[in-house]
Chain A
Amino acid sequence: MPLTQQEIQQFTAKACQLRKDAIDTVYWAGGGHIGGSLSFTEIMILLYYKYARIDPKNPGWDDRDRIVVSKGHAGVGYAPILADKGYFPKELLKEFNHTGSILGMHLDGNKVPGVDVSTGSLGHGLPITVGLGIGARLQGKSWLTYCVLGDGECDEGSVWEAAMAAAHYKVTNIITIVDRNRMMIDGPTEEVMRLEPFADKWKAFGWIVKEVDGHDFNQLADAIEYTQKEDKAPVVIIAHTIKGKCVDFMEDKYEWHYGGLDSEKVELAKACIEKHYCEL
């Protein structure tokens, strides 16, 4: 077990809080990509609260690890994490999507402290991650680059161009995690555009594949620690998750890729989240 019992408790409480923060942010924003913002919570917690070497007081620190949230539409889930880490005041979340706010649906790295790469257009994150990885290696730097991909974005050819390049250039100082929630805007991934056999595709491109339950901190942590040490080939962690996780009326529903919430639904969603954690 890579994590202590205390860490598990701490991260679980954090997951409960951050999921509720994402719900509030959707409300303040007038709508947001909530489904995928609830599926990547455990992945993001391990990066921001456990593994990535970062300093919120010094967001531009040269030797920090980089985090590329390639599924950039998950802004309503990502911004509360950055606020909680202290990159900017939590109050700013109330202005999410408002005219003139630094916070919009897809976070802009030039405006939002803590965002290493401006993403939002899918299929861009992994190529940039490969560049960051090669760049660090070339300069003899030990910092790592973490990349969180959506599964739907793996339809993009550029993801596979980058996968080919990462294996070719043996870029092993990157940690790639796919939030495999199996849902995209128009329906399940396997109906819109089949990804399976997904793991075999990565293997065929020269990657080592680790498949885990993406809501299980210990499984995820194990895979991340394995990837940090692996230096023969790039590793992809396929994290099996549930879109809309912890909110009963959203779970596994592609219709909740994007949505708005009125105050009644906000309360209902938060009650679901609290109930979920009470039952643990």
Chain B
Amino acid sequence: MAADGLTYTIVDTANMSTAEIYGKVLCDLAEKHKEIVGLSADLAKSTKMGQFAATFPDRFFNAGIAEQNMFGMAAGLAKAGLTPFVSTFAVFASLRAAEQVRTDICYQKLNVKIIATHAGTSFGQAGTTHHCTEDLAVMRSFANMVVIAPADGIETANAVMAAYEHKGPVYIRINRGFDPFLYEKSDYGFQIGKAVQLKDGTDITIIACGAAAYNAYHAAGILEKEDKLSVRVINMHTIKPIDEEAILKAVMETRRIVTFEDHNIVGGLGSAVAEVIVKSGKGCAFETVGIPDQYAIIGLPEDLQNYYGFDQNKIIEKVRQIMGKDFEQTEDWEDEV
């Protein structure tokens, strides 16, 4: 249960898109906390900030299609003692107004919450102008920023509540449309910076975030049943600060790690995990799967998940491929430091 006593279940949120769940949670928080204000840049409707706007019209500010000013205004509102929630598409939050987010908000450690929708390739049909496969890389390079990629709507509810409780800037990237539910209810102990182990295993660890987490969990079930593999699955919802302990435990205990994310393989979850592994001095078989440093093709999100290798079938294939590789296992770690 979050500090606010708000809990959400699959029943309350049935038939709601991930962004709609965000909109509902924001309204619930705003009801209790009068200092919450909302901003959007002509995307209140699409980001579901519109629910807040309709409920609290005096506390909502549409910046028009002017993201730089929107984030500057959010900085000013935070400086005045308010808690701004800002929503637009991820590509505009992380790229169009990147400097305002960095300089006005992160540099000054301001209490601004950015809930960016249509992340990754979840708006696949819209093409590269509306895909966002760079935000995790950009946002995690901003000092003071917390970066979260929730796996589903329930986790989004948790992330939004946790973002409110956290004093300082937070970036949450969510998908357009509906995410299949990984969780049935919100009281599973979500904590910023603490990964959720969805399944224990000893042969290989899958580390995933966002839409890939659900796919990885179900892929692991099939691999266990059909291939008799013991697959650990970690939902790394917080990309920064990343849960180093969970990664190092996986290195030591499973010796094989593969990451899946709806993001460029440069700079996102895979890179963040790699940094931890390399720093540890412990070797392990390691692969990153995501958009392979290119602009994604156009298509339905579920097709793109397949195309870029992070739907359930492709995750199964990738794990089989890694397990089929010759990998020398040694019990003696000390000589590898």
Could you tell me which A residues sit within 8 Å of B by CB distance? 62, 66, 108-110, 116-118, 120-121, 123-124, 126-136, 138-139, 141, 145, 157-158, 161-162, 164-165, 168-169
Among the listed A116, A124, A145, which residue makes an inter-chain contact with B103, where contact means beta carbons less than 8 Å apart? A124
In angstroms, Cα B63 to Cα A131, docked, is 11
Residues of B within 8 A of A169 (CB): 61
B72 touches A162 (CB 8 A): yes
User: Would A128 and B75 be within 8 Å (CB), given that A110-B109, A118-B107, A165-B63 are in contact?
Assistant: yes
Please, which residue of chain A has its CB at the minimum distance from the CB of B99?
A: A121
B69 touches A132 (CB 8 A): no
Closest Cβ of chain B: how far from A73's Cβ, in Å? Answer: 14
B82 touches A161 (CB 8 A): no
B75 touches A131 (CB 8 A): yes
Residues of B within 8 A of A138 (CB): 37, 58-59, 77, 80, 82
Interface of A is mostly: helix
B69 touches A127 (CB 8 A): yes
- Of all A-B residue pairs in the complex, the 5 with the closest CB atoms, nearest first, are A131-B76, A127-B72, A135-B80, A161-B69, A131-B73
Closest Cβ of chain A: how far from B56's Cβ, in Å? Answer: 11
B9 contacts chain A at the CB level, 8 A cutoff? no
In angstroms, Cα B94 to Cα A229, docked, is 39
B72 touches A130 (CB 8 A): yes
A127 touches B100 (CB 8 A): yes
Count B-side interface residues using an 8 Å CB cutoff.
Answer: 29
Could you tell me which B residues sit within 8 Å of A by CB distance? 37, 58-59, 61, 63-64, 66, 68-82, 99-100, 103-104, 107-109
Residues of A within 8 A of B81 (CB): 62, 135, 139
In angstroms, Cα B76 to Cα A66, docked, is 10
User: Would A158 and B82 be within 8 Å (CB), given that A127-B76, A130-B76, A131-B76 are in contact?
Assistant: no
A158 touches B59 (CB 8 A): no
Closest Cβ of chain A: how far from B132's Cβ, in Å? Answer: 21
B103 touches A132 (CB 8 A): no
A135 touches B82 (CB 8 A): yes
A158 touches B69 (CB 8 A): yes
Closest Cβ of chain A: how far from B142's Cβ, in Å? Answer: 14
In angstroms, Cα B82 to Cα A162, docked, is 19
In angstroms, Cα B104 to Cα A157, docked, is 16
The 17 sampled A-B contact pairs (Cβ below 8 Å) are: A110-B108, A117-B108, A118-B108, A121-B99, A127-B72, A129-B76, A131-B72, A131-B79, A134-B80, A135-B76, A135-B77, A138-B58, A138-B77, A157-B68, A158-B66, A158-B72, A162-B73
Residues of B within 8 A of A145 (CB): 76
Residues of B within 8 A of A134 (CB): 61, 73, 76-77, 80
User: Would A139 and B66 be within 8 Å (CB), given that A131-B76, A133-B76 are in contact?
Assistant: no
Given A130-B76, A132-B80, A135-B81, 12 extra CB contacts under 8 A: A110-B107, A120-B103, A127-B69, A127-B71, A127-B73, A131-B78, A134-B76, A138-B59, A158-B69, A158-B72, A161-B63, A161-B64
User: Would A162 and B80 be within 8 Å (CB), given that A117-B108, A138-B58 are in contact?
Assistant: no
Please, which residue of chain B has its CB at the minimum distance from the CB of A66?
A: B79
Residues of A within 8 A of B70 (CB): 127
Residues of A within 8 A of B37 (CB): 135, 138
Please, which residue of chain B has its CB at the minimum distance from the CB of A145?
A: B76
Among the listed B61, B99, B104, which residue makes an inter-chain contact with A128, where contact means beta carbons less than 8 Å apart? B104
In angstroms, Cα B69 to Cα A164, docked, is 10
Residues of B within 8 A of A66 (CB): 79
Closest Cβ of chain A: how far from B175's Cβ, in Å? Answer: 28
In angstroms, Cα B81 to Cα A3, docked, is 34
Residues of A within 8 A of B104 (CB): 124, 127-128
Residues of A within 8 A of B100 (CB): 124, 127, 158
Closest Cβ of chain A: how far from B53's Cβ, in Å? Answer: 14
Please, which residue of chain A has its CB at the minimum distance from the CB of B102?
A: A121
Closest Cβ of chain A: how far from B155's Cβ, in Å? Answer: 30
B66 touches A164 (CB 8 A): yes
Closest Cβ of chain A: how far from B116's Cβ, in Å? Answer: 19
Closest Cβ of chain B: how far from A116's Cβ, in Å? Answer: 7
Residues of B within 8 A of A110 (CB): 107-109
Closest Cβ of chain A: how far from B279's Cβ, in Å? Answer: 28
B82 touches A130 (CB 8 A): no
